[in-house]
Amino acid sequence: MRNYPESASESGQPILIASNNPHKTQELRRILDPLGLRVTTPEQIGLILQVEETGASFQENARLKASAFSSASGLVSVADDSGLVIDALGGEPGIYSARYSGPGLDDAGRYRLVLDRLRGVRGSARSARFVSAIVLVTPQGKELSVEGSVEGIIAEAPRGRLGFGYDPIFYFPSAGKTFGEMSDAEKDAVSHRGTALRRLAAALSDASAASILR
Ligand code: IMP
């Protein structure tokens, strides 16, 4: 999709990915590149910035990150805030997905904790969704925000070594696999982040929305 007007992403400045998470940065780049949006990373421009995620929603946290990175760099910045929402756990880990149970656990420790907490919960009662809120902010403070989600079931045991985070326990019924068993292309086509980013690109293909990049 390259039908939006000449913009920051195509002419001069690239869009900064407001994240220090290499897995997430890689996914964002992988999806945004073919959509025709030229991106850069904090590492590439030598920017070191940690943003406290004090928001009460995915969208608020994404906005905090995009605004902070945009102010610090002077670039249009795009942030994803995402997580796993599990119905049987009252929506946990949700916005706390990256730090579920506090620091000290790695990805595998966190998904094992989820599996422990779901012991005795069976079948469709293990319903869950990944949610991604994406917010793009300009140095002038203009903003565009989109969201994507994908429904699945928490597996009884981890499967697959691909992806990151909770991917090995997120079973995607129509593929008959966990996200940890899906290739990058398979995951991007259905994932919360893939959907949100395609919505962002579609919004930017609209001339009035694209004008925020100029
Ligand atoms: P954030 O940096 O606060 O948005 O953290 C998001 C966290 O949610 C990640 O660290 C993962 O634990 C989890 N998460 C988000 N998206 C995915 C995904 O696509 N696969 C697996 N885990 C994810």
List the chain domain ranges: 5-213
Lowest mean pLDDT among 26-30, 40-44, 91-95: 26-30
113 lines ligand 1 (CB under 6 A): no
Query: Tokens at residue 192, please?
Result: 């919360």
Higher pLDDT, 5 or 94: 94
The best mutation among 166, 171, 178, 183 to test binding of ligand 1, ranked by most ligand atoms within 8 Å of the C-beta, falls on 166
21 lines ligand 1 (CB under 6 A): yes
Which ligand 1 atom sits nearest the alpha carbon of residue 107?
Answer: 12
The best mutation among 21, 105, 159, 164 to test binding of ligand 1, ranked by most ligand atoms within 8 Å of the C-beta, falls on 164
Which ligand 1 atom sits nearest the alpha carbon of residue 191?
Answer: 19
3-state secondary structure of 124: helix
Residue-level pLDDT at 213: 73
Reported as a pLDDT band with limits 50, 70 and 90, residue 58 is very high
Residue-level pLDDT at 46: 97
Residue-level pLDDT at 9: 52
pLDDT in tens, 188-200: 999 999 999 999 9
Reported as a pLDDT band with limits 50, 70 and 90, residue 207 is low
Lowest mean pLDDT among 2-16, 114-128, 175-189, 190-204: 2-16
Report whether pLDDT(15) > 80: yes
Residues whose CB is less than 8 angstroms from the CB of residue 189 and which lie 6 or more positions away in sequence, other chains included: none
Residue-level pLDDT at 180: 98
Catalytic residues: 81
Q: Name the E strands within 14-93.
A: 15-17, 39-40, 77-86
Which is nearest to 151 in space by CA: 131, 166, 134, 169? 131
CATH of 5-213, one of 3.90.25.10, 3.90.950.10, 3.40.140.10, 1.20.58.220: 3.90.950.10
Residues whose CB is less than 8 angstroms from the CB of residue 165 and which lie 6 or more positions away in sequence, other chains included: 23, 84, 97, 98, 107, 110, 111
pLDDT in tens, 121-179: 999 999 999 999 999 999 999 999 999 999 999 999 999 999 999 999 999 999 999 99
Residue nearest to atom 9 of ligand 1 (CA): 98
Q: How many CB atoms lie within 10 A of CB 178?
A: 24
